[in-house]
Amino acid sequence: MKKSEEKPIKMEKKEIVEADEKKVSSSLEAQTVIPTAATGPAGPIPSAENERPQRLRKKRKLLMDSGDEEDAIEDEEDKIRGHQKRGKTTKHGKSASAQKKKLWNWVSYLEEEKMPAAPLKLFKEHQSFPQSRNSFKVGLKLEGIDLEHPSLYCVLTVVEVQGYRIRLHFDGYPDCYDFWVNADSLDIHPVGWCEKTGHKLIPPKGYKDGEFSWPTYLKQCKAQAAPKTFFKSYNTPVTPTGFRAGMKLEAVDRKNPSLLCVATVSDIVENRLLIHFDNWDHSYDYWCDASSPYIRPVGHCQENTISLTPPPEFKDPKCFSWESYLEKTGTQTAPARAFKVRPPHGFLPQMKLEAVDKRNPMLIRVCTIVEIEENRIKLHFDGWSSLYDYWVDADSPDLHPVGWCAKTGHPLQLPPGVADISPVPGQCCPIAGCKGIGHVRGPKYGYHYTAVGCPYSEVNLNRESFLPDRLSGERPLPSHHTLKARRLETPNPFPDPSPDSPQSRSF
Ligand SMILES: [Zn+2]
């Protein structure tokens, strides 16, 4: 029905992609690397030499667990500065360190590996080369979704800027809950957005509901709000979707993907839908668009003889019928025409790309696709054991085309062994390939020195989370099996719809 409206948008996007393909080839050739001990063979950016010491200082401030680590970092910084100086002065390779210095670039790497780069056209706009620069600065405040609690909007501060990415901090909470997003993330909004759109803003810890006001808070913190024009959501045209808040559908539980469940569109922001599972707690909610493969119209399960998981009050799934449920709840179904078909992602095994390492989200690594599914790809980190491979949605904002780091000014972690230099004693973690960057306890710690703190050690590898829930303080459960059990046992703490839930608003 909206075909005529969609067409011009697609054409425009194509032109941008073509223009970008030309730009990329030049950025790929220009990419060279001066490896450093601190970031591994990272940082192929023209300004990297100037930025790195500053970044290390920032990290040092974040270190809290031991004085030893601080001393080590200080040594580290000196070494890096020295290394960089030598790199500059011995341009023609007179010293040993200059001989060790190798240049790395995607073009020769792809030739060596005899594998292709994933074509730029396969990447969505939010994965591809940004159209504008990252304007965010450390200290700016904003509102945004907590991805662990996707229905909640929180008060956030930018605490680190790295290329086109920003690290955000929940005001009033420990640093370990900080998280990274791209500067064009639709999960973030300017100060005042919640009030304007009728969403509830969760105030910083320590503030009671109704006590919080942005103008007073900014004054108290002597902080500034991030200007509206920095936000992608501010510039995104909204296409009518045919979905309305409160409509019912059948949706995959992303935490238990074998379950298709009775669900509600509980919020709509820009072109995205918040999916909530009827009478389950909000931690299972997720955001998606109308073409998401995880949502289906009411009746999909019956038509395809798949079992539908009803809300928890239906002890026997056979007792559930959509007809009586809709009547009882006085709700409507989302119209079948609102669901869009997503075209195949087009990624193939052996294609290379750059991807955020979920175990250490401050890092972007050189990756190869090793397997594909209809909506997902399996990533392999080049030079690492296949133990670390994992599946990721093909439209994840953490996937980027080759050359993205170089172009956006983000360090790129090269495969271990490539363009490598000998590790600095005391710096390197015992796990093969790991440079000791990051920490299993979150971005509060810049470095780790032992397998216990290492995101890649055997003990930590398959743990979902190491932190208690930010809001409830509940400890994470050890595996997805118990998670499933928790879902089946947990009484619903949020009656649905709750008085402040977006469902009570009209659209
Ligand atoms: Zn490690």
**What is the distance in A from the centroid of ligand 1 to the CA of 432?**
8
**What is the distance in A from the centroid of ligand 1 to the CA of 103?**
25
**What is the distance in A from the centroid of ligand 1 to the CA of 450?**
7
Is 101 in contact with 35 (CB distance < 8 Å)? yes
Q: Please report the pLDDT score of residue 127 as a whole number.
A: 97
Instruction: Express each pLDDT in 31-55 by its tens digit.
Output: 434 333 333 333 333 333 333 334 3
| CA dist., res. 406 & res. 403, Å (int) | 5
**What is the distance in A from the centroid of ligand 1 to the CA of 464?**
17
| CA dist., res. 376 & res. 502, Å (int) | 30
pLDDT for residue 425 is more than 70: no
**What is the distance in A from the centroid of ligand 1 to the CA of 255?**
27
Q: Please report the pLDDT score of residue 15 as a whole number.
A: 40
Q: Please report the pLDDT score of residue 52 as a whole number.
A: 37
**What is the distance in A from the centroid of ligand 1 to the CA of 39?**
12
**What is the distance in A from the centroid of ligand 1 to the CA of 283?**
30
Q: Which of the four pLDDT bands, split at 50, 70 and 90, describes residue 247? A: very high
| CA dist., res. 109 & res. 148, Å (int) | 37
**What is the distance in A from the centroid of ligand 1 to the CA of 438?**
8
Predicted TM-score (pTM) of this structure: 0.74
pLDDT for residue 434 is more than 90: no
Minimal CA–CA distance to 448: which of 6, 459, 29, 186? 459
Structural tokens at position 259: 């379950």
**What is the distance in A from the centroid of ligand 1 to the CA of 180?**
20
pLDDT for residue 478 is more than 80: no
**What is the distance in A from the centroid of ligand 1 to the CA of 287?**
32
Instruction: Express each pLDDT in 159-177 by its tens digit.
Output: 999 999 999 999 999 988 9
β-bridge partners, 353: 367
**What is the distance in A from the centroid of ligand 1 to the CA of 233?**
37
Structural tokens at position 444: 């509060």
| CA dist., res. 364 & res. 398, Å (int) | 9
Higher-confidence position of 492 and 257: 257
**What is the distance in A from the centroid of ligand 1 to the CA of 108?**
28
Q: According to the 3-state scheme, what is the secondary structure of 58-97?
A: HHHHHCCCCHHHHHHHHHHHHHHHHHHHHHHHCCCCCCHH
Q: Tell me 479's DSSP state.
A: S
Q: Please report the pLDDT score of residue 123 as a whole number.
A: 98
**What is the distance in A from the centroid of ligand 1 to the CA of 455?**
6
**What is the distance in A from the centroid of ligand 1 to the CA of 310?**
43
Q: Please report the pLDDT score of residue 39 as a whole number.
A: 36
**What is the distance in A from the centroid of ligand 1 to the CA of 62?**
18
